[in-house]
Each structure stands twice: as C-alpha cells, then as structure tokens.
Amino acid sequence: QLETLEQEEQECLELSPYPTEKRTHIVSHQHGMTVTKTLQEGEAEPQCNSFSYSWAKLHGCLLEGASLLLLRVLACRQTMPPNLVLPAINTEGDLCTSSY
C-alpha cells in the first residue's frame, strides 16, 4: 500500500525580464488532499490557488513519487498487471488517470 502524505514540486524559468516560478504543494489530511498552486512572475505578487479532493474521489490515486516507486517495483518483479489504470493528479492539479 502506497500512501502520499505530502508532495512538493517547484519549477523555475529564468527568462529575462520576467523569471517565473511555479510551486505545487499537495498535503494529505483527514478528509482528503489539498492542492495549493503558487505562480510568481517577476516582481509581481504571487498568485495562489488552493483546492481539495475528498478521499472518495482519490481512492487508489497515486501521486508522482508513489508512481515512480510503483514502476520500480514492477520493473524489479518483471511483471505488469494487464490494463493497469489508476487515478492521478496532473501537473495542473486536476484529477486524471494514469495508464501503465
């Protein structure tokens, strides 16, 4: 059983005159998971957007870190369950599916 308690992602784009930084923070809590996205362009005030998903919607969801670990385990075992599709959260923070 893989469970993600917290995940942090950061992207930086250093282009003149407006460097851009994107951060995504995902944290597990009693009722589900909260995703907080922050975008800062140059010297402007950071733009923050936060939303939550219930555990019912996230049942079986694998975030990026857990997904990489699962792929390593499957590679070591040299086996792949047929038609393995799991819920995931994409880079925009939206629910989607991940096929292996």
> Considering the domain boundaries, does residue 72 fall inside one?
yes
Total of domains in the chain: 1
Global confidence as pTM: 0.71
pLDDT in tens, the chain (100 residues): 667 788 898 999 988 788 999 998 989 999 999 999 999 998 899 999 998 999 888 887 777 777 778 888 888 888 888 888 877 877 777 788 878 7
**Residue 35 CA, distance from chain mean position:** 8
Structural domain containing residue 78: 6-99
Do residues 25 and 8 lie in contact, with contact meaning Cβ atoms separated by under 8 Å? yes
Task: Return the pLDDT at 40.
Answer: 93
> Considering the domain boundaries, does residue 69 fall inside one?
yes
The CA-based dihedral angle spanning residues 49, 47, 15, 26, taken in that order and rounded to the nearest 10 degrees: -30
> Considering the domain boundaries, does residue 1 fall inside one?
no
CA distances from 20 to 13, 42, 44, 83, 96 (A): 5, 6, 10, 38, 26
